[in-house]
Chain A
Amino acid sequence: MEIVTSPNFWTAMLVLGVVLLVGVSFKTKALLNNVYVAVTISLLIAVAYFHLVDHYLMDMQGLDYWYLFRK
């Protein structure tokens, strides 16, 4: 729980997703267009991105996005 509610974790996920994307696309385009690889990378980036959006935009208002989970 502690880890999941940390923005650093999601930032790391986002970075991981982007690194994977860049890494894979340098290696071979065919692998990038593989459905499973593409879905994995996309989900990683999108999930991490939306968590970060939720966290930081609540944070900016001085509110806690993880209110329910921290209780």
Chain B
Amino acid sequence: MGGLTPNKMLSILALGAMVGLLLLPIVVSMPALAGGGGTPAAGGPPPDVAKKADTPEAAKVEKARDVYYKTEGIVTGAPAPKTADNPQFYPRYNFESRVLLWIANQQHLYYGSFVLAVPIFCMIIEFMGIVSKDKAMAKKYDQLAYDFIKISLTAYSLTAILGGILIFTFLTLYPAFFGYLSSIFRPVMHIYALLFVAESGTIYIYYYGWDRMKEGLLKWIHVSMSVVLNVIGTTLMFLANSWIGFMMSPAGVDEQGRFLGNIWHSIHTALWNPLNVHRLLGNMAFGGGVVAAYAAYRFLASKTDEERAHYDWMGYIAMAIGVAFLIPLPFAGYWLMREVYAYRQQMGITLMGGLLAWLFIIQATMIGILFLSSNYYLWQAMGRMRGAEKYQRYIKYMVFVLVCGFLIFITPHTIVMTPAELKAMGGQQHPVLGNYGVMSAKNGGINVIITTTVLSFIWYQRGNKVPMVSWAKFGNIFMGCFFALAYVNIIWLAIYGYYIPANVRVGLSVPQVATTLSCLFFMTALNLVMLKGAKQSGAIEWGKISVRSQYALIMLATAFTWMMGLMGYIRSSVRLFWHVNEIMRDNSPWAYTHTTGFAANMISFNVLFFWLTILFVFFLATLGVKKAPAEAKVSVPGRVPEPATGH
């Protein structure tokens, strides 16, 4: 590695040059941004100057107050259009326009997140391949990354097509609203377009340059390119998020929706950053799930042991990445929720306790399914290791803990019941279950589930190994005590929450989360140290895993997809009858909230549609493989080092 230093320098230089070139158009367009958002027609001085100047000249320009930042700014845009229910504002086919837009949006989002996530995996895996000391392993990783990017390339063009369809749907069905939104975001619209071009350029060079750039310095440049690719991709997503953030929690405009000249305010709204984090993590988990499902599908369809071994391994890696991003996801979601409450209390109540509360119960179910299937997969995966039997005996207890956590997590706050049951119960709240229906208990439930998942993962890592360090016994006891007390602490905090006031109680979730994360980081680290030089009681026999595990992977992916559709729907419908919350009213005939059943059916349709099309994408990828059978052979593992610890 040391000899590479000049090469590294060169590669960094090359990388810098590339980033510079790619970002050039944006830098060029910056002055337009700074000068009040590309609206030279208004011609006024920049906002900060205007604020200071109290001259008659400044009095001529109309000033207004930002609805969120409360700063004063010069009105530079038209007010939000007041629409009416007629074909001029809402042109329509003989069908519900909102549903059409829903489908277009959701499909674009699915593919968008997929092509955002997969290059990030590629980056990680390719990097792992480069730093891997084992030549066979390095080759395997490299091949896997190449397989991934191949899938994402087809998906990438589909994303672009779907994006086009989405824009046309917007223009055709919601011209007034889309016109308003694009008038606000006009300064960044072309940046978005240019970034898209930059991303296309990078992804094609990245893909087609794979073979050319596989040695030495060029390989490093190649990896660096994936970094650039992902930076652009993430920026793209952030920009797209700013639009939905603006729709939910508008800023940078006055009460009539007139743009006040500061585009950064419109982008950086109250919910932008929580949305960014939540979406990025969610997309990664989703991408992992989809790739794992692909591997599971290929595993189930394989005819030879070699193929099975390869796809078993691929499914495992994808699952591990997906779950790694799944674990912090609830915490990011919690942050988002807190910000929603902080922004508008009634929005939070509509979500969690009011109109949409039932969808959150469904969401809780999906989260539970995700964690249950990942645990199940890990237990099944122990089946491919000799020596893991000693842990399999304890599965029943883990099931019990998981199920208890899940039951509490899923208990609805508002219970569906017949009037007779209501009378029997003597009130809306059940004296026992009512206590499970509140946040304090639910936080306890989900943290217990996550901690158990961590424990499953540690057992999986240990499956075929016996720690040989001299303090092994102490290590085991310490780990046991730490986990036991972590459970105690989580449950204690959940109970404690009932005895203290609400404003102190909400803070308890933070130490709860910290407890879970302590288990994740400290115990995984301790485990790795303990397993150094461990005695192997048997090799991992890739491919010798039960088919049930593969169904669990497919289940995982489906649950991810379904949940994404669901959460997208919830996030979008929490605006109720607003296009832009409290700024622009939705006066179309479809401004009502769908019934839970209809929404669930729509989500299922979107999920089905996505899986049908992505199967086609997968099919295209297999066509490519058949042309190069030699390459596929490379990926067959010979002696198998364990990626489990490398993760």
- The answer to whether A and B touch directly, with their CB atoms under 8 angstroms apart, is yes
Task: Determine if A58 and B481 form an interchain contact, defined as CB atoms under 8 angstroms apart.
Answer: no
Question: A71 — nearest CB in chain B belongs to which residue?
Answer: B500
How far, in angstroms, from A45 to B481 measured CA to CA in the complex?
9
What are the residues of chain B within 8 A of A64 when measuring CB–CB? 504
Task: Determine if A58 and B473 form an interchain contact, defined as CB atoms under 8 angstroms apart.
Answer: no
Return the contact of B489 from the options A32, A50, A63 (Cβ within 8 A). Answer: A50
Task: Determine if B470 and A43 form an interchain contact, defined as CB atoms under 8 angstroms apart.
Answer: no
Q: Is B365 an interface residue (CB 8 A)?
A: no
Return the contact of B471 from the options A33, A35, A53 (Cβ within 8 A). Answer: A33
What are the residues of chain A within 8 A of B480 when measuring CB–CB? 42
B477-500, CB under 8 A of A: which get 1 and which 0?
Answer: 110111011101100010010011
What are the residues of chain B within 8 A of A35 when measuring CB–CB? 473, 477
Question: A64 — nearest CB in chain B belongs to which residue?
Answer: B504
A7-39, CB under 8 A of B: which get 1 and which 0?
Answer: 000000000000000000100010011010011
Task: Determine if A61 and B510 form an interchain contact, defined as CB atoms under 8 angstroms apart.
Answer: yes
CB distance from A28 to the nearest CB of B (A): 10
How far, in angstroms, from A21 to B41 measured CA to CA in the complex?
73
Task: Determine if B473 and A38 form an interchain contact, defined as CB atoms under 8 angstroms apart.
Answer: yes
Q: Which of A38, A46, A58, A65 has the most CB of B within 10 A?
A: A46
How far, in angstroms, from A57 to B517 measured CA to CA in the complex?
13
Task: Determine if A68 and B500 form an interchain contact, defined as CB atoms under 8 angstroms apart.
Answer: yes
Question: B484 — nearest CB in chain A belongs to which residue?
Answer: A46
Task: Determine if A57 and B471 form an interchain contact, defined as CB atoms under 8 angstroms apart.
Answer: no
How far, in angstroms, from A49 to B485 measured CA to CA in the complex?
10
Q: Is B514 an interface residue (CB 8 A)?
A: yes
Q: Is B606 an interface residue (CB 8 A)?
A: no
Question: A35 — nearest CB in chain B belongs to which residue?
Answer: B477
How far, in angstroms, from A39 to B477 measured CA to CA in the complex?
6
Task: Determine if B510 and A43 form an interchain contact, defined as CB atoms under 8 angstroms apart.
Answer: no
Question: B471 — nearest CB in chain A belongs to which residue?
Answer: A32
Return the contact of A29 from the options B470, B486, B489, B510 (Cβ within 8 A). Answer: B470
Question: B517 — nearest CB in chain A belongs to which residue?
Answer: A53
What are the residues of chain A within 8 A of B456 when measuring CB–CB? none
Main secondary structure on A side of the interface with B:
helix
Task: Determine if B514 and A63 form an interchain contact, defined as CB atoms under 8 angstroms apart.
Answer: no
Return the contact of A43 from the options B485, B500, B508 (Cβ within 8 A). Answer: B485
Q: Which residues in chain A, 45-70, are within 8 Å of chain B measured between CB atoms? A: 45-47, 49-50, 53-54, 57-58, 60-61, 63-65, 67-68
How far, in angstroms, from A53 to B513 measured CA to CA in the complex?
10
Q: Which residues in chain B, 265-293, are within 8 Å of chain A measured between CB atoms? A: none
How far, in angstroms, from A43 to B484 measured CA to CA in the complex?
10
Return the contact of A46 from the options B482, B503, B510 (Cβ within 8 A). Answer: B482
Q: Which residues in chain B, 445-484, are within 8 Å of chain A measured between CB atoms? A: 470-474, 477-478, 480-482, 484
Task: Determine if B481 and A68 form an interchain contact, defined as CB atoms under 8 angstroms apart.
Answer: no
How far, in angstroms, from A41 to B410 measured CA to CA in the complex?
37
CB distance from A6 to the nearest CB of B (A): 17
What are the residues of chain B within 8 A of A38 when measuring CB–CB? 473-474, 477-478
How far, in angstroms, from A46 to B504 measured CA to CA in the complex?
24
How far, in angstroms, from A54 to B482 measured CA to CA in the complex?
15
Task: Determine if B471 and A47 form an interchain contact, defined as CB atoms under 8 angstroms apart.
Answer: no
Q: Is B43 an interface residue (CB 8 A)?
A: no
CB contact under 8 A between A68 and B471, given known A42-B478, A63-B507: no
What are the residues of chain B within 8 A of A29 when measuring CB–CB? 470-471
Q: Is B515 an interface residue (CB 8 A)?
A: yes
Task: Determine if A53 and B518 form an interchain contact, defined as CB atoms under 8 angstroms apart.
Answer: yes
Question: A32 — nearest CB in chain B belongs to which residue?
Answer: B474
B residues with a Cβ closer than 8 A to A are 470-474, 477-478, 480-482, 484-486, 488-489, 493, 496, 499-501, 503-504, 507-508, 510-511, 514-515, 518
Task: Identify 12 residue pairs between A and B in the complex whose beta-carbon atoms are under 8 Å apart, listed by A's number.
Answer: A46-B485, A47-B485, A50-B486, A53-B489, A53-B518, A54-B489, A54-B493, A60-B510, A61-B510, A63-B507, A67-B500, A68-B499
Query: Can you name 9 extra interface pairs (CB under 8 A) apart from A46-B485, A68-B499?
Result: A29-B471, A32-B471, A33-B471, A33-B474, A46-B481, A57-B511, A58-B507, A63-B507, A67-B504
